[in-house]
Structure 1
Amino acid sequence: MPAPRVIVASDKFKGTLTSAEVAAAVDAGVRRVRPDATVVAIPVADGGDGTLAAAVAAGFQLVPVTASGPTGEPVHTAYARRRASADRGAPRGFGRSGGRDDVAVVELADVSGLVRLPAGRPAPMTATSYGTGQLIAAAIDAGCRKVILGIGGSASTDGGAGLVHALTGTESLDLPALRQRLRGVEIVVACDVDNPLTGPKGAAAVYGPQKGATPEQIADLDSALSRWADLVARETGRDLRDAPGAGAAGGVGFAALALLDADLRPGIELVLDLVGFHEQLVGADLVITGEGALDEQTLHGKAVAGIAAAAARVPGSVGAPGTPVVAVCGVNRLDHEQLRAAGVVAAYALTDLEPDVRRCIAEPVPLLERVGEWIAREHLR
């Protein structure tokens, strides 16, 4: 059999391994069985935490910034930047101007996310997206004219008001200042939810409990979001509170749509374009993807399903069979038919080798290496 070409494009195992660490362990296992294999690691994310790391792995340069965390304390964060060149500009499928400008990637989770709450203490009534606005402003001020914004993992429910205020430097809604700041700037948001801003399916009602909000606080937050939407509607002449995705990231989706003139795209699709997945797919014999747990959420816009959908389409070969996809995970809660429907031919869980979940979490690398061997024996011979 000719030397196989394998792509490992896994999301992180949350709280255990980064996507790059997952790839390294799987790579080691595959090479024990097929030392002749060419294994290409492509760290990916679904638009939440890990998006910045995926951009850096794809060749973007990290630009450090000190910004306000979700409760106002300074945090050391960064955005990722790729400079335009004569032969490479914007990522595939992104850009209205033909890819002639510098591109920045901003990850909300790394500055305004739950992971940035001091001591992990929720602050549902005071957390803000202000720092995310500071990061976007820093990228624009540095000359970037295209901004990719991943908005998963938000700690706040401020409707994106903090982000907007940071862009204008004022505490009021200053549309002329905002338009001036964003002149010539294109913003694309990685968003995987279709919630409206307000109401029973809105940002406060659905995601407030995850951020520590009580039922009384949820009602107050929803009222505040309604007032914010009223103000924006008066100032802009359009009401987008019910637009799909407006409730994403505590309402940052609403601000992006109504005030930043942003495009909302599925997170994994945007990241796959960002890291050049489709180009790397050409000539691959197998794609190994994964995430910490395969469950019902996997089937709705998460990394594994998005990668399987992309691998099913061979670039330039209409009607041709796609590249087979297998998944690695900590635990698998999907049956064979669900996996097949998602485009995954097989799943390999750490718990298949070690039933003790605590040990899987504590010692995932040796288990993943064994999974890599298992996959190589079954799919590369």
Structure 2
Amino acid sequence: MKVVVATDSFKGSNSSRRVCEAIVSGMKRIYPRADYHIVPIADGGEGTIEAVLEVTSGTMKTIRVTGPLGKNVDARFGLLPGGRAVIEMAEASGLPLVDEQERNPMLSTTYGTGEVIKAALDAGCRELFIGIGGSATNDCGVGMAQALGFSFLDKAGKELPFGGGALSALDRIDASKADPRIADLQVTVACDVNNPLCGPKGASRTYGPQKGATEAMVKELDAALAHCAEIIERDLGPSIAELPGSGAAGGLGGGLVGFLDAELQTGIDAVLSILRFDELVKDADLVLTGEGKLDRQTVFGKVPAGVASWSKKSGPIPVVAVVGDIGEGFEAVYDVGIDAVISTVNKAMPLTEAMARSRELLVETGERVARIMKIGSLLPGE
């Protein structure tokens, strides 16, 4: 019997791997000889590099790059077998890299993210997965593109300085010296927001204030992004202004489409794609997934919903969600491929106790799942 265990972390208590291992430990009490496949999962945000490397036997690389405000920082990325790489833009251009009193999206740049992409190209990668959560920037990915050889020129023919505020002076884009390897590059972007580039729900208005933008800055940045989108469409072709997700990471979502012909996907779909989850789950007899709390929001791009959906693509594989807490509206998950939901909590207890005993409860739940399975195998068919 092949069992795939692919869960998110239980935040505050156990990592994805520890959750998976605990569930398997419990199941082995009943099915000790089953073929278990542990697949720790992240949803494209923080921790995705580590989760992907665990499954793919990849290697972590650290390089020195340009940080959001020009200071050098160390940024990690993962090299995967088959000429692939996994990148988190926050490693090079993230908000935690900038002291709160120094945050200024008028000046911050994604140049360092472009340097990470270039390092992946230098390592022979031709397929990139990029998570774009947690940015400190609002430059439409222009800094990223500058690191890859694109030139962004003002009316005097001078290169624009870093930052979203400079985009209002953009007159033309020169791609003649862009890295030629981009032409053969396949880029998948983990993007869990649908914000367009500009307007009331755009990058500047929605996310600019948390990056240090004043009301006056928001208006200026929004106009600058709209202008940049017009020049991108005129000089390069892609229309990104109204593209859902283009406003993610201060417009980096749109910039990756405009400059690298990237594909925007939900975070979990992008992660499962780079993990080649469809191959991992092939011929599985059972899939177990889970997260700390499962409720009506789970169907909107959370790990259990993604795992269930991808599993069902491979056939009528039963999918069970093991969760710490079952919230309101959880029944919606039955419509996306989850067949049963089982909580680890086996009696009334405070959250602090449940978290402290998380591994113990996960092991017990794994055993309960296996016992229910054994009963099912003894029942007559319909």
- What is the TM-score when the length of structure 2 is the normalising length? 0.80
For 2:64, the equivalent position in structure 1 comes to 66
Pairing partner for 1:375 from 363, 369, 374: 369
Q: Is the 8 A contact 2:53 2:80 kept in 1?
A: no
For 1:328, the equivalent position in structure 2 comes to 322
Pairing partner for 1:134 from 104, 115, 122: 115
Structure 1 vs Structure 2 CA RMSD:
3.0
SS at structure 2 position matched to 1:168: coil
Query: What amino acid maps onto 1:52 in structure 2?
Result: I
Question: Are 1:345 and 2:342 an aligned pair?
Answer: no
Moved >6 Å (runs of 4+):
119-122
Question: Are 1:9 and 2:6 an aligned pair?
Answer: yes
Question: Are 1:168 and 2:116 an aligned pair?
Answer: no
SS at structure 2 position matched to 1:269: helix
C-alpha separation in 1, matches of 2:192 and 2:265: 8
Compared CA separation, residues 31 and 270, structure 1 to 2 (3 A): same
For 2:164, the equivalent position in structure 1 comes to none
C-alpha separation in 2, matches of 1:276 and 1:79: 19
How many equivalent pairs are there?
354
Q: Where do 1:1-381 residues align within 5 Å? A: 4-57=1-54, 58-84=56-82, 102-114=83-95, 116-117=96-97, 123=103, 125=105, 126-168=107-149, 172=160, 173-178=173-178, 180=180, 182-208=182-208, 211=211, 217-314=217-314, 322-335=316-329, 337-350=331-344, 353=347, 355-381=349-375
Displacement of 1:20 in angstroms is 1.5
C-alpha separation in 2, matches of 1:363 and 1:216: 50
Displacement of 1:255 in angstroms is 0.3
Compared CA separation, residues 306 and 130, structure 1 to 2 (3 A): same
C-alpha separation in 1, matches of 2:368 and 2:10: 19
Deviations 1:214-265 (A, max 9, x none): 6555444323322332443443355421112211222111101111122223
Compared CA separation, residues 28 and 122, structure 1 to 2 (3 A): farther
Q: Is the 8 A contact 1:353 1:367 kept in 2?
A: no
Query: What amino acid maps onto 2:75 in structure 1?
Result: T
Query: What amino acid maps onto 2:370 in structure 1?
Result: A
C-alpha separation in 2, matches of 1:293 and 1:264: 26
Deviations 1:288-321 (A, max 9, x none): 1122332343212222111111111335xxxxxx
Displacement of 1:169 in angstroms is 8.0
Query: What amino acid maps onto 1:245 in structure 2?
Result: G
Query: What amino acid maps onto 2:323 in structure 1?
Result: C
Compared CA separation, residues 118 and 327, structure 1 to 2 (3 A): farther
C-alpha separation in 2, matches of 1:124 and 1:14: 31
Compared CA separation, residues 230 and 104, structure 1 to 2 (3 A): same
SS at structure 2 position matched to 1:11: coil
Deviations 1:322-353 (A, max 9, x none): 11112233333243531211221222345565
Compared CA separation, residues 237 and 119, structure 1 to 2 (3 A): closer
Compared CA separation, residues 117 and 294, structure 1 to 2 (3 A): farther
Query: What amino acid maps onto 1:292 in structure 2?
Result: G
Q: Is the 8 A contact 1:351 1:357 kept in 2?
A: no
Compared CA separation, residues 337 and 186, structure 1 to 2 (3 A): closer
Deviates more, 1:204-213 or 1:253-262: 204-213
Deviations 1:92-148 (A, max 9, x none): xxxxxxxxxx2222122333334x435777936354333221110111122222222
Compared CA separation, residues 329 and 210, structure 1 to 2 (3 A): farther
Compared CA separation, residues 297 and 36, structure 1 to 2 (3 A): same
Q: Is the 8 A contact 1:48 1:108 kept in 2?
A: no
Deviations 1:150-199 (A, max 9, x none): 22333433322222222238654542222536243232223333321111
Q: What percent of counterpart residues are identical?
A: 40
SS at structure 2 position matched to 1:10: coil
SS at structure 1 position matched to 2:205: helix
Q: Which structure is larger by alpha-carbon Rg, 1 or 2?
A: 2
Deviates more, 1:370-379 or 1:128-137: 370-379
Q: Is the 8 A contact 1:64 1:79 kept in 2?
A: yes
C-alpha separation in 2, matches of 1:80 and 1:354: 42
Displacement of 1:42 in angstroms is 0.9
SS at structure 1 position matched to 2:44: coil
Displacement of 1:361 in angstroms is 4.2
C-alpha separation in 2, matches of 1:121 and 1:287: 47
C-alpha separation in 2, matches of 1:15 and 1:39: 26
Q: Is the 8 A contact 2:44 2:131 kept in 1?
A: yes
Q: Is the 8 A contact 1:9 1:290 kept in 2?
A: yes
For 1:90, the equivalent position in structure 2 comes to none
C-alpha separation in 2, matches of 1:129 and 1:196: 19
Displacement of 1:10 in angstroms is 1.1
Query: What amino acid maps onto 1:49 in structure 2?
Result: E
Which segments of 5 or more consecutive residues in structure 1 lack a partner in the other structure?
85-101, 316-321
Q: Is the 8 A contact 1:49 1:110 kept in 2?
A: no
C-alpha separation in 1, matches of 2:108 and 2:286: 43
